[in-house]
A and B are shown apart, each in its own frame.
Chain A
Amino acid sequence: MKKVTVKDQSVTEKALRHARAVGVSMKESVYPLTATVYYPRERKKMPANLRGYLLFEPEKCISCWQCAFICPANAIRMKEAPNKRYYPTVDYGKCIFCHFCIDSCSGGALYSTKIHDVAYRDMDEMLTLTEEMIEQPEVLREDKKSVEYIIDKDDLHLKRRREQDTLFVEPTPPVEIPMVSQCVDRASCIGCRVCEEVCEHDAISSKQEGNILRMRIDTEKCTGCGLCVKECTMQILRLVRK
């Protein structure tokens, strides 16, 4: 246990402390440890994992709705595209940049940029539709230099470079986990064929055998996206390890 006690300062100590306070200010006025980034003129280099504005690749999206479901702020809503599929839209008037959506997107369709400094004129513009999230947006930039914070054993240093820092990063794909869909209770299947309809990869097929409709899941084709599990009317499909 550490006990903290602060003694009263004697007169000499007081004088010394006054002198040191003044001394620090004099020293700093001559040789300051300035840590300022001249923002509109130069930009602080942000790490690649910065959680900024979202971009979207529709080819990778399987419309699994997980981004919308996990969004704590309900900023992501799905909008019907011309191809009758649902793709995410982001309302930056609600988005809290937690990137739970990116961490939930098993296909890696959503990815981040380093854009984080935007001012909107009115609130209606803050809703970003799917078609606006595909290409890299154009941001007003006044910066010519980039500044990097470097912390070494001694102190914090600002390293300035005469180059514009890029705001876009290559997305890293998520870890692939071999999962397949499996029916856990075949007897309860009512043969509605929803699973077959929703499957992107034609992994589910059906065969009429007399009065019984037999569903079959092709484990080779199944990617484990879980769409059928979500849609199953009787909730009898589960994702299991391959």
Chain B
Amino acid sequence: MMQEMISGMINTLMGTIMSNQIHVPVLEPLIKLLAQLPVGGFMVSLLFWKAFFAALICPGFATVGILLLFFPWIERKLCGRIQWRVGPNEIVWWLGGIIQLLADTIRFMFQEVIVHRDAHRPYYLQFPFLTFIPTLLPLLFIPAGSIVAIRTPYAIQIILALVCLFPLFILGLGWASNSRFAFIGTVREAFMYFAYEIAFIVAILAMIILYGTSDLVAINNTGTWGILLNPVAAFVFFVGAAMATSRLPFEIAEADQELAAGPHVEYSGIGFGLIYVLCYEKAYVLAGLMTVLFLGGGSGPALPGLGELSGLIWFLVKTLIVMTTLFVLRVIYPRYRLDQALSIGWSSLLSLALVAVVISLGVFMIGGGAI
């Protein structure tokens, strides 16, 4: 009886796993070979189970890890190049310093963590870790090609809800730090939060109108480049993302020269290491969302033999490009003042977002319904 139940459950589970496998023609012989092994078969099919793959490998956990290790290097090299320098290159000379961030990470790990006397100790220690919750969770809903961990018609809403939590944790960091610069930085962060949030949401709303759904997989499957249909919404989204991730010209809360990194000023060692990579993660989430909403997600010429991984690769490439653009902004622009950023957010950006809604409605009318 018991045995039957268990085997039934395993069968259902296997059924779910097997029905939702990633199809990669190139790897097929290898998978077949491994499937003959008793445990290997299960492991391989688990690995290639879309939900598992999406959550733990791509676009989820492993990709985030690799990205955090190498993206700052890409950013530093590219910014260095634009600034007539070279960026980190001595560490492994023949690879151009590609493992720079590995060294930084190791250094952070073994650096002393200082909790200063005035800090609110529990929160001060918790917040750098807690911040990872809203930044990692949205990845479950973002499809890379056809690979997604959780498919739901409310994907955009859930992601938005989580994205809107980012600043709260930054506020927490600043508050727990209990330093004057952190305080000013925190207040600025709170102001900035209101500056971009509404326009940002309205721009996404415009896209929901355009697509007629908020299911990201469905949007991805249409393969339309939203940026061509509604460039205004794309622009508002991009500026909003720059504000949300605190990129120049809107790096106001962390203003290095004014507030010495604002809310992060007191963190040291691994605490700072976590905060340092936080903005890359945020940027990754928002760039992924932008890719799906505006750049056609995983659509692109199919790469021979890769099957569904083809979409995933296109998704990653596009996301990386968006992220790079987002980060290269820091070498193009100086920083806006807080009131200027607020007025941009509340007047220009919001009105542009409304224009985007109008455009979407127009496209909706002309096209005779959603895409």
**Which residues does chain A contribute within 8 Å of B328, judged by CB atoms?**
25, 29
Within 8 A of B (CB), among A47-93: none
Shortest Cβ gap from A135 to chain B (Å): 32
Size class of A's contact patch?
10 to 19
The answer to the question of A211 belonging to the interface, with a C-beta cut-off of 8 Å to chain B, is no
Is B86 a contact partner of A25 (Cβ separation < 8 A)?
Answer: no
Q: A21-B332, A21-B333, A22-B332 are in contact. Are A29 and B81 (CB under 8 A)?
A: yes
Within 8 A of A (CB), among B293-352: 328, 331-333
Is A29 a contact partner of B82 (Cβ separation < 8 A)?
Answer: yes
Is A34 a contact partner of B85 (Cβ separation < 8 A)?
Answer: yes
**Which residues does chain A contribute within 8 Å of B94, judged by CB atoms?**
none
The answer to the question of A32 belonging to the interface, with a C-beta cut-off of 8 Å to chain B, is yes
Q: State A40–B85 Cα separation when bound (angstroms).
A: 15
Is A25 a contact partner of B332 (Cβ separation < 8 A)?
Answer: yes
**Which residues does chain A contribute within 8 Å of B85, judged by CB atoms?**
34, 36
Contact of A36 among B84, B331, B333 (CB under 8 A): B84
**Which residues does chain A contribute within 8 Å of B82, judged by CB atoms?**
25, 28-29, 32
**Which residues does chain A contribute within 8 Å of B332, judged by CB atoms?**
21-22, 25
Contact of A25 among B90, B93, B331 (CB under 8 A): B331
Is A33 a contact partner of B78 (Cβ separation < 8 A)?
Answer: no
Q: State A29–B89 Cα separation when bound (angstroms).
A: 17
Is A32 a contact partner of B333 (Cβ separation < 8 A)?
Answer: no
Chain A, 19-47, contact with B by CB distance < 8 Å: what is the 0/1 string? 00110010011001111101011000000
**Which residues does chain A contribute within 8 Å of B93, judged by CB atoms?**
41
**Which residues does chain B contribute within 8 Å of A36, judged by CB atoms?**
84-86
Chain B, 282-298, contact with A by CB distance < 8 Å: what is the 0/1 string? 00000000000000000
Q: State A22–B331 Cα separation when bound (angstroms).
A: 10
Contact of A34 among B84, B90, B331, B333 (CB under 8 A): B84
Q: State A22–B82 Cα separation when bound (angstroms).
A: 11
Contact of B81 among A34, A38, A40, A41 (CB under 8 A): A34
Q: State A187–B337 Cα separation when bound (angstroms).
A: 82
Shortest Cβ gap from A39 to chain B (Å): 10
Is B78 a contact partner of A35 (Cβ separation < 8 A)?
Answer: no
**Which residues does chain B contribute within 8 Å of A21, judged by CB atoms?**
332-333
Within 8 A of B (CB), among A196-210: none
Shortest Cβ gap from B192 to chain A (Å): 21
Shortest Cβ gap from A168 to chain B (Å): 28
Within 8 A of A (CB), among B60-101: 78, 81-86, 89-90, 93
**Which residues does chain B contribute within 8 Å of A35, judged by CB atoms?**
84
**Which residues does chain A contribute within 8 Å of B86, judged by CB atoms?**
34, 36, 38
Shortest Cβ gap from B255 to chain A (Å): 20
Shortest Cβ gap from B332 to chain A (Å): 5
Shortest Cβ gap from A37 to chain B (Å): 10
**Which residues does chain B contribute within 8 Å of A29, judged by CB atoms?**
78, 81-82, 328
Q: Which residue of A lies closest to B86 (CB)?
A: A36
**Which residues does chain B contribute within 8 Å of A22, judged by CB atoms?**
332
Shortest Cβ gap from B216 to chain A (Å): 29
Q: State A22–B238 Cα separation when bound (angstroms).
A: 15
Q: A34-B86, A36-B86 are in contact. Are A28 and B333 (CB under 8 A)?
A: no
Q: State A35–B81 Cα separation when bound (angstroms).
A: 10
Q: State A29–B304 Cα separation when bound (angstroms).
A: 31
Q: Which residue of B lies closest to A22 (CB)?
A: B332
Within 8 A of A (CB), among B202-252: none
Max chain A C-beta neighbours (<10 A), residue from B81, B90, B93: B81
Shortest Cβ gap from A25 to chain B (Å): 5
Q: Which residue of B lies closest to A35 (CB)?
A: B84
Shortest Cβ gap from B47 to chain A (Å): 37
Q: Which residue of A lies closest to B87 (CB)?
A: A36
**Which residues does chain B contribute within 8 Å of A33, judged by CB atoms?**
84
Q: Which residue of B lies closest to A21 (CB)?
A: B332
Shortest Cβ gap from B342 to chain A (Å): 19
Max chain B C-beta neighbours (<10 A), residue from A22, A25, A34, A36: A25
Q: Which residue of A lies closest to B324 (CB)?
A: A29
Shortest Cβ gap from B71 to chain A (Å): 16
Q: State A29–B79 Cα separation when bound (angstroms).
A: 8
Q: State A22–B78 Cα separation when bound (angstroms).
A: 14
Q: State A32–B77 Cα separation when bound (angstroms).
A: 12
Contact sample, A vs B, 13 pairs, CB 8 Å cutoff: A21-B332, A25-B82, A28-B82, A28-B84, A29-B81, A32-B82, A32-B84, A34-B84, A34-B85, A36-B85, A38-B89, A40-B90, A41-B93
9 additional A-B pairs beyond A25-B328, A32-B82, A33-B84, beta carbons within 8 Å, are A21-B333, A29-B81, A34-B85, A34-B86, A36-B84, A38-B86, A38-B89, A41-B90, A41-B93
- The 6 A-B residue pairs with the shortest CB-CB distance in the complex, in nearest-first order: A28-B82, A25-B332, A25-B82, A32-B81, A29-B82, A34-B84
B residues near A (Cβ < 8 Å) are 78, 81-86, 89-90, 93, 328, 331-333
